[in-house]
């Protein structure tokens, strides 16, 4: 009987700590962050976007983000859980490679960054590397009737160089800048 009461006390303490106290700490921390924990929002063309969540861009005149295992649905953030030896996964990656090569003539398979044919762990990564943008410059410039130099300059202007980690480009912000 003594063990049951000790177990119930520990369970109750765990519920209070992890369902109440921890939740309030995280909520409080979010309130002192920019946008009060509501994500990074921008408004363009009368529409509100979240810059910290990938958007689906498929038209030729836009830079494409990483593929998404959850079809860019923030409510279902997840990876595919398929390993590199899974036949279905390998077929899906090969389809992405083939499609990328068709839409981006002049690019060789070896030049396609892995991030352009594999989904991120969350399926919602809004960033691509400068290399992933570079292999798309020609297609985007042609579709927009712009010089590659102008498109590359816009890419360079939107390349973020964090204090730690590799340089990245927010695909949404880059595409909105090109729309201007």
Structure confidence at residue 53 (pLDDT): 83
The reply to whether 11 and 46 lie within a common domain is: no
CB burial string 120-150: b at 16+ within 10 A, e below: bebbbbbbbbbebbbbbbbbbbeeeeeeeee
The pLDDT, as a whole number, for residue 10 is: 92
The answer to whether residues 125 and 159 belong to one domain is yes
* Alpha-helical regions (H) of the chain: 2-15, 22-31, 87-103, 130-134, 137-144, 148-157, 171-179
Round to whole Å and give the CA distance between 98 and 55.
22
Q: Are residues 85 and 170 in the same domain?
A: yes
The answer to whether residues 44 and 34 belong to one domain is no
State which residues form the domain around 10.
Answer: 1-38
Average pLDDT (136-153) is 95
Count how many domains the chain has: 2
pLDDT score at 56: 87
Residue-wise pLDDT tens digits, 80-135: 778 888 899 899 999 999 999 999 988 999 999 999 999 887 878 889 999 999 99
Query: What are 49's strand-pairing partners?
Result: 42
Both 50 and 79 in one domain: the answer is: yes
Share of the chain above pLDDT 90, in %: 49
> Quick one: 143 and 156 in the same domain?
yes
Q: Is 45 found in the same domain as 34?
A: no
- The helix/strand/coil state of 155 is helix
Q: Are residues 162 and 147 part of one domain?
A: yes
Same domain, 88 and 139: yes
On whether both 122 and 48 belong to a single domain, the answer is yes
Instruction: Verify that 111 and 48 share a domain, yes or no.
Output: yes
Q: Are residues 26 and 106 in the same domain?
A: no
pLDDT the model gives residue 91? 93
């Amino acid at each position: 009987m003594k063990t049951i009461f000790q177990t119930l006390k520990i369970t109750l303490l765990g519920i209070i700590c992890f369902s109440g106290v921890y939740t309030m700490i995280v909520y409080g921390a979010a309130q002192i962050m920019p946008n009060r924990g509501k994500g990074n929002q921008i408004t363009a063309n009368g529409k509100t976007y979240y810059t910290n969540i990938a958007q689906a861009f498929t038209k030729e005149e836009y830079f494409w983000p990483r593929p998404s295992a959850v079809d860019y649905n923030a409510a279902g953030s997840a990876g595919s859980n398929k390993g590199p030896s899974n036949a279905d996964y390998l077929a899906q990656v090969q389809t992405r490679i083939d499609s990328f090569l068709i839409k981006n003539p002049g690019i060789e398979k070896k030049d396609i960054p892995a991030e352009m044919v594999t989904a991120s762990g969350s399926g919602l990564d809004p960033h691509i590397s400068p290399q992933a943008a570079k292999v798309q410059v020609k297609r985007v410039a042609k579709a927009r009737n712009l010089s590659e130099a102008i498109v590359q300059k816009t890419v360079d202007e939107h390349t973020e160089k964090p204090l730690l980690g590799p340089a990245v480009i927010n695909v949404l912000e880059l595409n909105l800048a090109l729309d201007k």
